[in-house]
Chains A and B, each alone.
Chain A
């Protein structure tokens, strides 16, 4: 079972940031369970084979104020993909800094290190963020857009992050993460 984590503080945002990810999983034939980060329990977490932490609206920062609600990720031994806010959660949880940086729209992503997420060397993706990350040594950069590190991996854990929204223009990145068919370089 894939655990989808909703971080939206406003319930209307579910339709914009969570449902599109659910739809990709449905099309891929994956069994999934969606939970809001404030209502996650031990049973949900222990059943998950993988997890995806979805994004949220530009003005929504509640998830950052409650970062310890994601402490379970430090102990989790399953692959996790963080999308936008989800990537910020992963970075913040392991000590990286967030900085104010707004990027809205379609921008080119240059892959700087191959990973299970994509075969491509570059692609266009949709960005909707008002924070970027200053990575510490726990993370490596997989992709950049301009001077923004927008695709990352934890060096020791199977934690991946996309600052952009792959569900909009690059659903294959989510499918690649789920199916893990591309070998790790």
Chain B
């Protein structure tokens, strides 16, 4: 089946893409660029990087801007999926939804309206299992956003590795934090994975942070051979 992946450039959409490649013909990526920092549906930090990530992966990208307002962004998503369906002859969409009933409900409804299959291969996956799968598969992932106590500035730009998973597991036990950031506590950006044809090297960045809310923003990057 020809499928497109709803792609934010974070660990979940990359892992969903990785899994779907074993079963289907992934022919494009689809990204919504939200102009709101409080998008209900779409990952925000470094979303502008998805163009370069798509290039590194070797897939075309369908990109659409959205204001990020609650129901308007669903209309924008529907338009983006409709465009991708028409341009790439898609039969299905893959998402990296894990726990969000809100997101999953809305994507399922839009896919139903557009006559598309909707695949969610990470749905209800144990979060520590998910993080371990990412690390085991040698993804290069940085923490690009923190949005909850006690995640402070020190987490921003850190790599996701076994030590980080251990830290997040402790924070889960102590503070009830979702270790994979499924409540929006953490956002990630993937710079390399087994299906990347080139890897991303970050050349410049800045950090904005205040009161357990911050973003590691990639300002400049290049693609390098692996």
A contacts, CB < 8 Å to B: 10-13, 15-16, 19-20, 23, 57-59, 102, 104-106, 126, 128, 130, 167-169
B residues less than 8 Å from A19 (CB atoms) = 124-125
A57 to B126, CA, bound (A): 21
Chain A contacts of B125 at CB under 8 A? 15, 19-20
| CA distance in complex: A13, B108 (Å) | 14
B185 to chain A: closest CB distance in Å? 20
* C-alpha spacing A102/B19, complex, angstroms: 28
Give the shortest distance, in Å, between A85 (CB) and chain B (any CB). 15
- Which chain B positions have C-beta within 8 A of A128? 108
Listed stretches B57-65, B115-123, B149-157; interface member? B115-123
Partner of A12, one of B101, B112, B119, B126: B119
CB pair B124 A12 closer than 8 Å: no
B39 CB → nearest A CB, Å: 19
B window 82-139: CB within 8 A of A? 94, 101, 105, 108-109, 111-112, 117-126
Report the bound CA distance from A169 to B119 in whole Å: 19
| Chain B 9-27 residues near chain A, CB threshold 8 A | 19-20, 22-24
Asked if B170 is an interface residue, CB under 8 A from chain A, the answer is no
* A16 x B120 contact (CB < 8 A): yes
Within 8 A of A (CB), among B143-177: none
Q: Which of B19, B23, B94 has the most CB of A within 10 A?
A: B23
Chain A contacts of B121 at CB under 8 A? Answer: 12, 15-16
Count of A-B contacts judged by CB separation below 8 Å:
59
How far, in whole Å, are A104 and B94 apart by their CA atoms in the complex?
A: 17
B202 CB–A CB distance under 8 Å? no
Measured between beta carbons, the chain A residues less than 8 angstroms from B207 are: none
A15 x B122 contact (CB < 8 A): yes
B1 within 8 Å of A (CB atoms): yes
Contacts of B1 in A (CB 8 A): 10
Given contacts A11-B23, A12-B19, A57-B118, contact A168 B105 (CB under 8 A): no
B118 touches A130 (CB 8 A): no
Give bound CA distance, A172 to B121, whole Å: 23
Bound-state CA distance A58–B115 (Å) is 10
Q: Pull 19 A–B residue pairs with CB atoms less than 8 Å apart, ordered by A.
A: A10-B1, A10-B23, A10-B119, A11-B23, A12-B22, A12-B94, A12-B119, A13-B119, A15-B122, A15-B123, A15-B125, A16-B121, A16-B124, A19-B125, A20-B125, A58-B118, A59-B117, A126-B105, A168-B124
Q: Which of A20, A23, A104 contacts B112 (CB 8 A)?
A: A104
B209 → chain A, closest Cβ, in Å? 34
B101, A105: Cβ atoms closer than 8 Å: yes
**How near does chain B come to A154, taking the closest CB pair, in angstroms?**
28
Determine whether the beta carbon of B122 is less than 8 Å from that of A104: no
A12 near B105 with CB under 8 A, answer no
Tell me the minimal C-beta distance from B71 to chain A in angstroms.
Answer: 14
Interchain CA distance A167-B125 in the complex, whole Å: 11
Q: Give the residues in chain B near A59, CB-CB below 8 Å.
A: 117
How distant is B40 from chain A, measured CB to nearest CB, in Å?
A: 14
The docked-state distance in angstroms from the alpha carbon of A19 to that of B98 is: 13
Cross-interface CB contact of B126 among A23, A102, A168, A169, cutoff 8 Å: A23
A63 to chain B, nearest CB (A): 15
